[in-house]
Structures are given as C-alpha cells and as structure tokens.
Amino acid sequence: MADKKTKLELTWIGKENRPKLEPRILIEDPGKSYHAKYRSTPRPLGEGMGVRADVFDNKLIFGDNLLALKALEAEYAGKVKCVFIDPPYNTGSAFEHYDDGVEHSLWLSLMRDRLELIKRLLANNGSLWITIDDNESHYLKVLCDEIFGRTKFVANIVWQKRTTRENRAAIGSSHDHILLYTITEAVEWKTHRNLLPSTDEGFSNPDNDPRGPWRSIPFSAQGWRPNQMYKIETPTGVILEPPKGRCWGATEETFNTYMKEGRVYFPKGGDGKPRIKTYLGEETGLVPNTLWLAAEAGDNQEAKKEAMSLFPNDEAFSTPKPERLLKLVLSISTNPGDLVLDSFAGSGTTGAVAHKMGRRWIMIELGEHCHTHIIPRLKKVIDGEDEGGITKAVDWKGGGGFRYYRLAPSLLEKDKWGNWVINKQYNAAQLAEALCKLEGFIYDPSDTLYWMHGHSTESDYIYVTTQTLTHEQLQALSDEVGENRSLLVMCSAFKCKTDTFANLTVKKIPNTVLSKCEWGHDDYSLQVENLPKEPITEDREVDLFGEDE
C-alpha cells in the first residue's frame, strides 16, 4: 500500500485562499487618545511588573482586525499573555452594530486568518479564550485544533449566559461556550495559570475538630497502583480494601503522615472510607472548573444593565459581555502588568476590566461604536467615574490612559496611468517606519545619524529615502557605515551598479516591494461579498447548463 499521509481536517469553500497582508503602520490621533492628569499609584521603586500601577501604555485601534493584528505582529509577536475574543457568532440574524449573518465558509476563513495571527502574538505561557454559541462552536473547535494543535486545547468552558427560561425554541439556550487554547502543551499550562481565591463554601466542623472548620475529599484514586493497594484499619477496627476499580489516594507512608497530623476523617461513626481534611485558610486557591454559573461570572442581563448604566441616554451596545466574566478570565490567565488583547472589542469590556485590574491592554474595533462607546467608557474608567461592573470588587479609583490609533492607508497607490507609486499621504517618517515593517527591521530612528532609520541586528541598518541617490552620495554613505556594519538602502532610484559597495544593499521602491503583499486592500472584514466562489464541479455543471437551458 502506498505510504499516503492523511490528516483529519475540516474543509470549506475557499479554505486554500490566504490573504497576503500588508503590514501597515499605526497612526496615532492624539486628539482621541486619553490620559489621566496624574500618575495616581506610582509603581514602588525597585519593583517590576506584577505590581499594580497605573497603566498608560494601552492601545485602542480603530479598523479591521486582520490588518490591525498584522500591524501589531512586528512589535508584539510572543508578547501577549491573554487574548480574549467574542467574535460575531454567525447566527444569521443581523445585529444592530454589525452584520452577523455571513456564510459559514466565509466565517471560517475569516476566523482562521485572524487566529493564525493571534497565535503569533501570544506568549509561550499565554492563552486564548473565545466565546461562541452552538451555531459555530464545534466547527470552531476543529479549526482551533488545526491551528493550535489538539494538545493545546485546555477546556471548553460552559458559561451560563441566561438564568431565565427561553420559551421560543425547542430547547432554550442558556449557555455559551468559551474555548480555551494555549501555546504551551495544555497540561503544562497548569504551572502558568492562577488559582481562584478560596471561599469558605463547604467548610464545617461536624466532629468539633479543635483546628476549626474543614472540608474533605475521598482518599482514593482511579486505577490500580501497586504501592497504593494496602489495607487500612478504621478506628472501629474494620479492615478496609481500596474501593472497587480504585486504589488509595497515596502511598501507605503518606497515609500514616495524614493519620499523625489528624487529617483523616472516617465517616459513618468511624466505619466509613477515609477522607482527607483541609482546614479553612489552608487552601492556596481553587482550581478553576469548566462550569461558570451566572452567580459567579454574570450573565447577559447583567452585561446589558452595565451597558445601560454607562450610557443611560444613548442606546446601549447590544451584545456586551459582563465585567465579571472578563474578571474571571483575566484572574486565571494574567497578573498585573501583563498584556491583554481583544480584537473584537465591541463596547470595550475587555479593556475596561483589564484597566481596572492593572493589566495592559490592546483593543481593536472596526465599528463606529469604537468612538461612541469604547472611548467614552474608557474615559470614565480612567477618570474614576465608572462605578459599575467590577469597580468596587477590585477597588478601582481611576488613573492610567490609552492611545488611539487608526491604520495607515496602503503604502502604495495607483497613479493615473495605473502604476504603483508611494502613497502621497505618507510623510518621510511614516515611509521609513512602513518600510522597516515590510523588510523586517525594527523602526528606531537615530537622533544623530540621518541614515539610521532602523535595525535588524546590532550591525545591520536600514535607510529609506525618496531621493535618487548618486554614486557620490552612496560612496559617502558607504564610508560612514564602515566595514563592521551593513546598510539596506531603500530609495526611489540610484545611479550605480548594485554591487559597487560591499556594505550597502541598494533597492528601488516601490519596484522591490511590489510582490511582497496585496496593496490597496483595505477591507478584509466580515462581508458576504468577500465569499470566494464555489468551485464548479462536473455535477454542478450539469445542473447549471443542463437540458433546461
């Protein structure tokens, strides 16, 4: 039999089409950026991240998230600790703030392209959380398995989004899914996530233990382990074997230690199977589980109330998530100072919660509610005027700030003869920054050397100019760069052979960058018109051009 390698995969129309994205630069609009006047909680001297402090270095990006994620790639690859996204669920009902009714194939392609970029942005110990309902959740799971790997799947959390009955459907939908993926192996992520604060739920003192209230777990485990198969004698003299199909919870030596510590509880008046006690105050935290009830994580109604109290006169955003849900996600996955990203920001819940919890954030939103909802909401958070959501629980008083960015237009545009030329809207600094991104250099212009616009290593630099460079100018550049450094010169034209100077690589813009990506493509968003055409198979040809024609 031929050695044919196959893999399990989900297919859809247009899966093989991948956009060749232009790495745009981000342009700040300082008029829309917002900062508190004072630093209110300065980071203590000598303390690093992990200590709560005002966060000013946040980003709100207005635009399509595919181009925006690409724009972030150069600076943020491997740096994001938690990505939370709440994408359009593709339910087929047009929501007020965005068109949610897109075809399944288009939706999968759009999600795939965005998830691949998100994966690159995530840190090794980072995690991705996606809320989704039954319409696409199972397709999304298979898609994520393909992108991240099945061993990176941590959990499908069931979040109770509704507590009231839904009578219109055959079976009312009262939960959403939250898919959780990691970059590291899912089993290893245990060492990176945080435990949840312990509660005193389930603690009591039925045996009047002098050490106070306790709760217990059975002292047995699944399976058969030879050193955990001993006999235990209860205080009433009954000899116990491990329960059927199980072994004891630890070795005999460990059990004897528990006995000496007075931690073993035999229920049923001393005859029952042993349980191990944990006393109140001893637990370091609770392991999160896969069922998140509304009482703990909030529900859609709570989110709507939060939105209405933020914008009482305005129309509230229609599909927000409750702040308590985000607080749970960020408590488990991040620490103060960590970077959180939401590329489907909506009304800005993720940024608001991250801000109040002392995390850094980046949010991307293409809808006009970026201006009508996110900016006013975050201003209230910064000014300490948002009293709702998790404000009291985390004792948020205000502070910090954010910068507002939009995506630069495409670097190249067509002139009236249909030739690609450098976009006239670009100034010299923006051109240099854009070409650094395109060529994989870090934009870092020098204050003293005019030709040092960026670097790729400690000795490899880039210089960008719209001039035509003469042989003399290139000679002068080559002399300044010297023997131990190299320089990529990107210019409109040059008058010499390309290999004249050993330390210079000279290239013409736009000619050399033309094939690098798709130019002038501004809209990769959820538009049905973007759906690729279904390939015409022989069967379909008969249908289309058959006898009826």
Ligand X SMILES: C[S@@+](CC[C@H](N)C(=O)[O-])C[C@H]1O[C@@H](n2cnc3c(N)ncnc32)[C@H](O)[C@@H]1O
- For residue 69, state whether it binds ligand X (rule: CB under 6 A): no
Nearer to ligand X, 96 or 444 (CB): 96
Residue nearest to ligand X (CB): 346
The DSSP code for 504 is E
Nearer to ligand X, 133 or 480 (CB): 133
Residue 377 CB, shortest distance to ligand X, in Å, is 9
Phi, psi of 341 (to 5 degrees): -125, 135
Q: For ligand X, which residue of 119, 141, 175, 321 counts as binding (CB under 6 A)?
A: 321
Tell me the pairing of strands 80-85 and 442-443. unpaired
Tokens of 525: 């968003």
What's the CA gap between 309 and 109, in Å, rounded? 37
Nearer to ligand X, 320 or 400 (CB): 320
Q: Which amino acid is at 316?
A: A
Cβ(181)–Cβ(119) under 8 Å?
no
- For residue 86, state whether it binds ligand X (rule: CB under 6 A): yes
Taking contact as CB under 6 A, which single stretch among the options 280-288, 365-373, 400-408, 514-522 is the one that binds ligand X? 365-373
Residue 459 CB, shortest distance to ligand X, in Å, is 39
Closest residue by Cα to residue 267 from 336, 230, 228, 214? 214
Taking contact as CB under 6 A, which single stretch among the options 242-250, 276-284, 340-348, 428-436 is the one that binds ligand X? 340-348
Q: For ligand X, which residue of 366, 438, 452, 474 counts as binding (CB under 6 A)?
A: 366
- For residue 317, state whether it binds ligand X (rule: CB under 6 A): yes
Tokens of 10: 């989900």
Nearer to ligand X, 408 or 526 (CB): 526
Nearer to ligand X, 59 or 321 (CB): 321
Nearer to ligand X, 145 or 306 (CB): 306
Classified as helix, coil or strand, 384 is: coil
Closest residue by Cα to residue 86 from 417, 318, 420, 261? 318
Tell me, residue by residue from 400 to 419, as one string, x for binding to ligand X by CB under 6 A and - for no binding. --------------------
Closest residue by Cα to residue 247 from 263, 227, 262, 265? 227
Nearer to ligand X, 303 or 474 (CB): 303
- For residue 98, state whether it binds ligand X (rule: CB under 6 A): yes
- For residue 365, state whether it binds ligand X (rule: CB under 6 A): yes
Q: For ligand X, which residue of 349, 391, 423, 465 counts as binding (CB under 6 A)?
A: 349
Cβ(277)–Cβ(249) under 8 Å?
no
Q: For ligand X, which residue of 347, 423, 465, 486 counts as binding (CB under 6 A)?
A: 347
What's the CA gap between 355 and 361, in Å, rounded? 7
Nearer to ligand X, 241 or 368 (CB): 368
Residue 513 CB, shortest distance to ligand X, in Å, is 25
- For residue 453, state whether it binds ligand X (rule: CB under 6 A): no
Taking contact as CB under 6 A, which single stretch among the options 162-170, 186-194, 342-350, 529-537 is the one that binds ligand X? 342-350
SS3 letters for 526-548? CCHHHCCCCCCCHHHHHHHHCCC
For 494, the enclosing helix (H) or strand (E) is: strand 493-494
- For residue 65, state whether it binds ligand X (rule: CB under 6 A): yes
Q: For ligand X, which residue of 22, 54, 64, 386 counts as binding (CB under 6 A)?
A: 64
- For residue 90, state whether it binds ligand X (rule: CB under 6 A): no
Taking contact as CB under 6 A, which single stretch among the options 170-178, 201-209, 229-237, 358-366 is the one that binds ligand X? 358-366
What's the CA gap between 291 and 296, in Å, rounded? 10
Q: For ligand X, which residue of 25, 294, 364, 407 counts as binding (CB under 6 A)?
A: 364
> Please, which residues bridge with residue 196 across strands?
286
Q: For ligand X, which residue of 320, 351, 389, 400 counts as binding (CB under 6 A)?
A: 320
- For residue 109, state whether it binds ligand X (rule: CB under 6 A): no
Residue 123 CB, shortest distance to ligand X, in Å, is 22
Cβ(369)–Cβ(62) under 8 Å?
no
Tokens of 191: 């060492």
- For residue 214, state whether it binds ligand X (rule: CB under 6 A): no
- Residues contacting 456, CB < 8 A, separation 6+: 439, 440, 441, 442, 462
Q: For ligand X, which residue of 525, 530, 531, 532 counts as binding (CB under 6 A)?
A: 525
- For residue 324, state whether it binds ligand X (rule: CB under 6 A): no
Residue 166 CB, shortest distance to ligand X, in Å, is 19
Q: For ligand X, which residue of 59, 70, 81, 97 counts as binding (CB under 6 A)?
A: 97
Torsion, CA 539, CA 540, CA 545, CA 549, rounded to 10:
100
Residue 342 CB, shortest distance to ligand X, in Å, is 7
Residue 392 CB, shortest distance to ligand X, in Å, is 19
Tell me the pairing of strands 214-218 and 153-160. unpaired
Q: For ligand X, which residue of 329, 332, 488, 526 counts as binding (CB under 6 A)?
A: 526
Q: Tell me how many degrees the CA angle 58-340-20 measures, rounded to the nearest 5.
A: 90
Q: Which residue stretches of 133-284 are H helix?
A: 137-148, 252-260
Taking contact as CB under 6 A, which single stretch among the options 165-173, 253-261, 308-316, 343-351 is the one that binds ligand X? 343-351
Tell me the pairing of strands 34-35 and 360-365. unpaired
Q: Tell me how many degrees the CA angle 23-25-27 measures, rounded to the nearest 5.
A: 155
Q: For ligand X, which residue of 344, 443, 463, 494 counts as binding (CB under 6 A)?
A: 344
Closest residue by Cα to residue 420 from 498, 517, 338, 344? 517
What's the CA gap between 495 and 491, in Å, rounded? 11
What's the CA gap between 115 and 117, in Å, rounded? 5
What's the CA gap between 200 and 332, in Å, rounded? 19
Q: List residues binding ligand X (CB under 6 A).
A: 64-65, 86, 88, 97-98, 317, 319-321, 344, 346-347, 349, 364-367, 525-526
